[in-house]
Structure 1
Amino acid sequence: MELSEVDGVPEWLPDHLAGEGIESLYPPQAEAVEKGVTRGESLVASVPTASGKTLVAELAMLASVAAGGKALYIVPLRALASEKRAEFEAFEEYGVEVGVSTGNYESNERWLGEKDIIVATSEKVDSLVRNGASWIDRLDCVVADEVHLVDDRNRGPTLEVTLAKLRRINPDLQVVALSATIGNADELADWLDAGLVDSDWRPIELRKGVHYGQALHFDDGTQRELRVKSGEKPTAAIVRDTLQDEYDEEGNVAEEGGSTLVFVNSRRNAEAAARRLASTTAEHLDAEEITQLREVAEEIRSVSDTETSEDLADAVEQGAAFHHAGCAPGHRSAVEEAFRDRLVKCVCATPTLAAGVNTPSRRVIVRDWRRYDGSAGGMAPLSVLEVHQMMGRAGRPGMDPYGEAVLLANAHDELDELFDRYVWAQPEPVRSKLAAEPAMRTHVLATVASGFAASRGALLEFLEQTLYASQTDESGRLERVADDVLGYLEANGFVERDGDGLQATGLGHTVSRLYLDPMSAAEIIDGLRDADPTDVSALGLYHLVSRTPDMYQLYLRSGEREDLAMMAYERESEFLGAMPSEFEDERFEDWLSALKTAKLLEDWADEVDEDRITERYGVGPGDIRGKVDTAEWLLGAAESLAAELDLGSVTAVREAKKRVQYGVREELLDLAGVRGVGRKRARRLYAADIETRADLREADKSVVLGALRGRRKTAESVLENAGHQHPSMEGVDADESARPAEAPAVEDGEGDGERAIDEEDQATFGDF
């Protein structure tokens, strides 16, 4: 189908897409148009990765906007929100306004009401509904990207309930659900009253197979020799083969070598594999690539002063990289961009990279098809859907002539097993996880508090509109779980019942607005109510929020239990709530896990060097950032709850929140709050006797320049943000006596973007 044949879209769209090389629609896209996606008809598109799902969404949203409507694009991950924003911003030159929202669960963000297309995570959309965003009822089109994630135990229930609420608010809402190929796309379509495009079409060929012995065995029955050298691992052999150019009969390069994604089952394996494969990729770099990769490596080193940064940068300099949740966001984005630019030739990743983020490659190697599963008590096979998601990353349209995705077998029986289990298998059906009690606690309270249900009957009627209700054969299960949850909410003062009638209390409304699991709120409230407000410590507060269901606690490593138990007894008076007996094994273990998490937060707030924290707790910089962000959110919620209940600990909670937010001791809070200062610059300024924001406003500029190591633009920006009347550093010489000890001198005019790693940054702030 030609673009000119598509009705309902803006007149400028065909020319715009032609400028991007898109002259006609792929078959699944054409089928979506035929089924009315540009005429407001709901649709489920279950098609492989790289087959044009995003354009289907764009056609629907732009048709809606052209008709005077408003569109919402729901993504599962913040990183994917940023990626989609960058894509959709290309429409702004035609007057389409795009807005993005992913954080701050307490706001309704009225400014989004002025946008034509809004990109947000499902959690953010859920919170916007709870907080009564006025523009929600003006939505005409909602796109749910990666909708198969309704099967995810953590994210799925929120996406499912959010879609149900949006359809309840807007009865004529168009829902466009995008999915990888799944086994029951028809069930999702029935649930959403939508048409269905269920296709296995891809723009370029994807060959799936297994490497065994000295050959690749493909799903079409063919084989291709791919020899593994003596002392070489099969993964390295495949990466080496992928990097080699292909030649025609005359000896000319017919196809340049390509890139490889290697999926492994743990962070440690991702890092180890990248280190090993760096020696393979390094042999295929030219001089220009080496220079560019050194620049990327420096960017990575500037993200954090940790071993993870250094190890990643070392691998990147040789054309390889790793990618996992322990990497900081800056690490991951740098790797993704360098991989898309074909500078990094091989990325070793955990399966998280398979979901959403646009990182296709010539070949995909699924090295590990088992991973540890605590519920199974050991290693368990990955799902077919997850492996197919990884395999779907093979082959980038417009850049690769084909894609190949292979698993690795160590024996002939395993070769047959992998073909049966994954290559020839169909993905599993997705199943709702809404009936799990943790999910129901949160969503039942929100449903009552936001006015969707004023009675038990109305609540059950709403729940009947969910995917779970359409899938379950277990009579009465939803009703039983809902009643159990209502009993819990009533016992904790979040809802009141009058016969069949339901009403959220003021406290219940606050908990819903704060986006807390009600069990987290109950834990926080109990801890603060029992506390002496004059004797609340930061560690006690960090431990309180760390033992809530909303905080993912650090695991106890072998040998840590005894040391943490000793610390627990030594600091027992600081805890907000009674410590369980050590003979209550499971409860005591959870208490100690929360203590380990709280101690990490305390170290961060005590300005312990980031590298020391990663080493001590066995985490990556991304984990630190995640724990800090979660603690800041939970402490902000605790502050709101303490204020509502008129508890005397509000000030202590607020200070603990600020300290963990900025990663500083109490004396630096004022300085660190100046935009552009942060924990390390605040300490340098403080050492130069600039102790407050007011001091900074009136400071001698030569002292500020010296304390900030001669970086003029940084100093000017900091002074401007502090409100200095004359922030310009023109003609100012740095006061060398204010320059931090051990810091290398910086020539005037250098350092437009200060690196985070300096010699003095490696200093610690106390032994631990």
Structure 2
Amino acid sequence: MVEEYAGSKGKFPPVKRRAKNSLYITTIEKGHSLVNSLIETHRLDNIGLVVVDELHMLGDGSRGAVLEMTLAKVKYVCKGTQIIGMSATLGNVGDLQKFLSAENYTNDFRPVQLKEYVKLRDSIYEVNPKEEDGLTFSRLLSFKYSSAMQKVDPDHIIALVAEVIPQKSCLIFCATKKNCENVAGMICKYLNKDFLKHREPEKAALLAELKDSGSGCLCPVLQKTVPYGLAYHHSGLTSDERKLVEEAYSSGVLCLLTCTSTLAAGINLPACRVILRSPYVGADFLKRSQYKQMVGRAGRAGLDSVGESILILQDKDKDKVKNLVSAPMETCYSNLLHDGNRGLLSLILSLIGLNVTQTVEQVLGFMSGTLLSVQEVQVCQQKTLKELIQESTEILKQKGLIEASSYVPDNAILQITRLGRATFKGSIHLSYCDVLYKDLSKGLEGLLLNSFMHLVYLVTPYDMVSLCKPDWMIYFREFTKLSAAEQKIAAALGVPESFVARKAAGQSVRKCVDAVVVTRLYLALVLYSLLRETTLWNISDRFQLTRGFVQALLSSASAFCSCVLHFTEELEEFWAFKALLTELTRRLTYCVQAELIPLMEVAGVMEFRAKQLYNAGYKTLAHLANADPNVLVNSMENLYKKQANQIVSSAKMLLQEKAETLQQEVDDLLMLPNDLPSV
């Protein structure tokens, strides 16, 4: 069984399968929750192998901390499990070997040779570590530019692109999302009209699919660029749009993508030529590991004998770039102390909650098997690991998340409190657990249930607040659309209409208002509008937010709603929230009418397609699993045989999985006492 643990997918603890082994494909966060649930149910020894792709993510902020916790727990609790970590951009392999008690296998083999170049003005230089300055002159760029083109494209991107497309593929990494769109649009203006004829029918089909995925809406930039075989790829696209663009690029329908650095990590989209628009990501100069991830996309196995990367630079960056192309990889440091030791605090709380450790001494014993312990001298900043653990334990006590049975410092038995267990079970960030408890308690005093508005506010993610700044005119407009009861709730939360009206009018406000609450309510209005059967495109336009951000907000709210549900299940005073949040999680996960939800589980089925299927009579998973792909093609617009086969195949697989899961539950219920495992 291959099971996905990402977004809202995945069951904790996972379903027991006696007849088959399981392969769990997980995100870092879901993988950690999966390991926790297996420890809690004494099933971690069922895991024989853990494979970590992109192991250098250990050095990546809070996500790195979660990855380190997961691996440390697997090592400590189940010593027989094999761990394999993979990365092409690791600097301090020795530290990671000590942390994982690992052997090191290194190979420089590449199926396609990579040639790295930099471009300075009209000259192309090959990266050559043997040379004194790391660069060797290769050639002059020959391409006739008009004065108008020179102004529009001073970096000669069109010249570099025209050398390879449309016969071969090209990726252009840009510093910002807006730059991606601008560069794609700029290239189209100067491409030969013959590009329009290259795979014309498939490009027309792609545009139709993109329009369907947007419920009839199509991005004007993509509408202009796709006929030329170009598209952009960044977080401003919806997941459906990204998937369609990636598939079209992989099949050669699109020959060029302008993209941000995120495409370099985890997405298998190689190119004959990779162009780095500048040595910056946003305002920050490229790190060596980022550079290697990007240029590593050059070269398609089985199609190219050589892959090329070209970094465009200005004179002012020449010295920095010389260091960049020849520097060693950055050191990967533990992030358990990132952001005020939050990783360490979270780890200690979960260790006590899972009964893995019960004293400070035992916690110290566990911590000796972490990357933080290996790097104690470099990372712990003049404190010993034991001192940090004692400080963290005191902080958890002060927050009311753990308590000690006695006052003997190292031998006191540490126990998790009700609030601590709820925080741990719900995977709630320690910064927000007490705020969430207060918000939910206050919510119970006057919970408005004639609309989803109040509940949606309670599950609006705290960590999205810093990513959005309210537009006060839009805020006031949307606020006035609320019912009198909903406006009363907003006022009770601390955001009265008078405050929003004054801000919209550009007037100063003397009254002290919590900025987090104000922004959180604004985001709640976005989510509430989505739940009222309004398309993501309409909401994006109404609130002047990218559709990618709106979708990310929805996905984050769905995940946080599930976390809050688990949080409330551990606290008896919040019993009323269980049924309410169970339904709200479903609504936020799919954000469609309830009858369409079963169809939305099928791979390749988006809201527009689900409505088509439902209206055509395919109202359940069983109906779809028994459908004839040829009939589907004939009865639905813009549906091709390959897609129809995929939809029917996915429906059959889902139906089989559900049947097997139910059969497993039946078998477990009918187990004879003699079959029960010994404790």
How many residue pairs get aligned? The number is: 589
CA deviation after TM superposition for structure 1 residue 585, in Å: 12
**Cα displacement (A) at 1:416:** 4.0
Decide which of 509, 525, 534 is 2:421's aligned counterpart.
Answer: 509
* Deviating more after overlay: 342-351 vs 108-117: 108-117
Correspondent of 1:107 among 12, 20, 31: 12
Structure 1 residues 282 and 179, CA gap change in structure 2 (3 angstroms): farther
SS in 2 for 1:197: coil
Deviations 1:512-539 (A, max 9, x none): 2332223333322211112345533633
Aligned match of 1:129: 35
Uncovered stretches (5+) of structure 1, i.e. residues with no partner: 1-96, 245-256, 373-378, 685-707, 729-745, 755-768
2:401 paired residue number: 494
Structure 1 residue 141 corresponds to structure 2 residue 45: no
Three-state SS of the structure 2 residue aligned to 1:322 is strand
- Structure 2: tracts of 5 or more residues without a match: 129-135, 407-411, 500-507, 641-679
One-letter amino acid of the structure 2 residue matched with residue 574 of structure 1? A
In the other structure, the counterpart of 1:351 is 261
Note the C-alpha offset of 1:470. 0.8
Which of 588, 591, 602 is the equivalent residue of 1:660? 588
Query: Would the aligned equivalents of 2:425 and 2:566 in 1 still touch at CA under 8 Å?
Result: no
Preserved CA contact (<8 Å) 2:232 2:259: yes
2:657 match: none
Moved more, 339-348 or 201-210: 201-210
The residue that corresponds to 1:277 in the other structure is: 187
Q: Name the SS of the counterpart of 2:271 in structure 1.
A: coil
Structure with the larger RCO, 1 or 2 (CA within 8 Å, 6+ apart): 2
Contact 1:308 1:327 in 2 (8 A): no
CA gap 1:394/1:584 in 2 versus in 1, 3 angstroms:
farther
Which stretch has the larger CA shift, 160-169 or 228-237? 228-237
2:447, 2:454 within 8 Å by CA — same for their partners in 1?
A: no
How many Å separate the matches in 2 of 1:654 and 1:543? 15
Q: Over residues 682-734 of structure 1, what are the superposed CA-to-partner deviations in whole Å (9 max), with x where a residue is unaligned?
A: x99xxxxxxxxxxxxxxxxxxxxxxx99x6774321278799xx999xxxxxx
Aligned residue in 1 for 2:79: 171
Question: What SS does the aligned partner of 1:242 have?
Answer: coil
Three-state SS of the structure 2 residue aligned to 1:603 is helix
Distance 2:623 2:453 in 1: 30
Q: Does 1:184 align with 2:184?
A: no
Code of the aligned partner of 2:165:
L
Q: Distance in 1 between matches of 2:492 and 2:550?
A: 23
User: Is 1:539–1:574's contact at 8 Å kept on the other side of the alignment?
Assistant: no
2:553 match: 627
| CA distance in 2 between partners of 1:495 and 1:308 (Å) | 52
> 1:307-318, aligned counterparts within 5 Å?
309-318=219-228
Note if 1:157 corresponds to 2:76: no
From 560, 574, 587, the equivalent of 1:647 is 574
Matching residue of 2:645: none
SS of match in other structure, 2:431 = helix
Say whether 1:241 aligns with 2:241.
no
Paired position in structure 2 for 1:53: none
1:415 aligns with 2:293: no
* Cα distance in 2 for residues equivalent to 1:544 and 1:712: 34
Letter in 2 for 1:718: K
Moved more, 343-352 or 438-447: 438-447
Q: 1:127: Cα distance to partner?
A: 0.8
CA distance in 1, matches of 2:512, 2:117: 44
The amino acid across from 1:623 in the alignment is F
Mapped to 1, the partners of 2:175 and 2:92 lie a distance apart of: 27
Paired amino acid for 2:280: R
How far residue 346 of structure 1 moved from its aligned partner, in angstroms, is 0.8
Contact 1:259 1:345 in 2 (8 A): yes
Once residues 371 and 203 of structure 2 are traced to their aligned partners in structure 1, the CA distance between those partners, rounded to angstroms, is 47
- Matching residue of 2:204: 294
- Residues 541-690 of structure 1 mapped to structure 2, 5 A cutoff: 541-546=455-460, 548-549=462-463, 551=464, 553-556=466-469, 563=476, 571=487, 573-574=489-490, 588-643=514-569, 644-647=571-574, 649-650=576-577, 653-654=581-582, 656-663=584-591, 671=595, 675=599
Offset at residue 163 of structure 1 (A): 0.8
Q: Is the 8 A contact 2:120 2:313 kept in 1?
A: yes
Q: Select between 713-722 and 606-615 the one with higher mean Cα deviation.
A: 713-722
Q: What per-residue deviation string (whole Å, max 9, x for no partner) do you get for residues 228-280 of structure 1?
A: 52315222221112227xxxxxxxxxxxx421111112222212222222345
Q: Which amino acid aligns with 2:119?
A: H
Looking at structure 2, the residues matched to 426 and 719 of structure 1 have their Cα atoms a distance apart, in angstroms, of 56
Greater helix share, 1 or 2?
A: 2
Structure 2 match to 1:206: 114
Asked if the contact 1:547–1:553 (Cα under 8 Å) also holds between the matched residues in 2, the reply is: no
Identity of aligned residues (%): 22
1:524–1:615 Cα change, 3 Å: same
Query: How far apart are the structure 1 equivalents of 2:638 and 2:614?
Result: 6
Provide Cα deviations, 1:369-422, integer angstroms capped at 9, x if missing partner: 2244xxxxxx221211111110111112221121111211233x43343223x2
Q: CA RMSD in A?
A: 3.9
For the structure 1 residues 508 and 297, does the alpha-carbon distance in structure 2 shift closer, same or farther, using more than 3 Å as the test? same
2:337 corresponds to 1:435: yes
Distance 1:188 1:481, change over 3 A: same
In structure 2, relative to structure 1, the CA distance for the partners of 1:213 and 1:121 (3 Å cut) is same
For 1:645, the aligned partner's letter is E
Letter of the 1:108 counterpart: P
Is structure 2 residue 443 aligned with structure 1 residue 531? yes
Match of 1:718 in 2: 619
Cα displacement (A) at 1:659: 4.5
User: Take 1:419 and 1:305, find their aligned partners in 2: how far apart are those partners?
Assistant: 48
Quickly say closer, same or farther: Cα 1:677–1:317, change in 2 above 3 A. same
Contact 1:719–1:727 under 8 Å retained in 2: no
1:488 and 1:560 mapped to 2: Cα distance? Answer: 42
* 1:585–1:502 Cα change, 3 Å: farther
Contact conserved, 1:270 with 1:350, CA < 8 A, in 2?
A: yes
Do the aligned residues in 2 keep the contact of 1:99 with 1:118 (CA within 8 Å)? yes
Code of the residue aligned with 1:159 in structure 2: it is L
Distance 1:426-1:306 versus aligned 2 partners, 3 A rule: farther
What's 2:454 paired with?
Answer: 540
Q: Give, in whole Å, the separation in 2 of the partners of 1:557 and 1:574.
A: 15
Deviations 1:336-394 (A, max 9, x none): 2222222211111111100011111111111132244xxxxxx2212111111101111
Instruction: Please give the alpha-carbon distance, in whole angstroms, between the structure 1 residues aligned to 2:613 and 2:373.
Output: 62
Aligned-partner Cα distance in 2 for 1:106–1:574: 35
Contact kept, 8 Å, 2:272 with 2:308, in 1: the verdict is yes
What does residue 635 of structure 2 align with? 749
SS of equivalent to 1:338:
helix
Residue by residue over 1:278-320, the C-alpha shift from the partner in whole angstroms, topping out at 9 and shown as x without a partner, is 3456656474611112212222222124866453354222201
Write the mapping of 1:1-16 to structure 2, written as runs, cut at 5 A.
none
Change (3 A) 1:612 1:191: same
3-state secondary structure, aligned to 1:157: helix
Task: Mark the CA change 1:200 to 1:507 in structure 2 (over 3 Å): closer, same or farther.
Answer: same
Structure 2 contact 89–329 (Cα < 8 Å) conserved? yes
User: Residue 79 of structure 2 aligns to which amino acid in structure 1?
Assistant: P
Matches within 5 A, 1:69-88: none
Contact preservation (8 Å) 1:147, 1:179: yes
Query: With structure 1 as the length reference, what TM-score do the two structures score?
Result: 0.68
Tell me, yes or no, if the aligned pair for 1:495 and 1:502 is still in contact at 8 Å: yes
**Is the partner of 1:182 in helix, strand or coil?**
coil
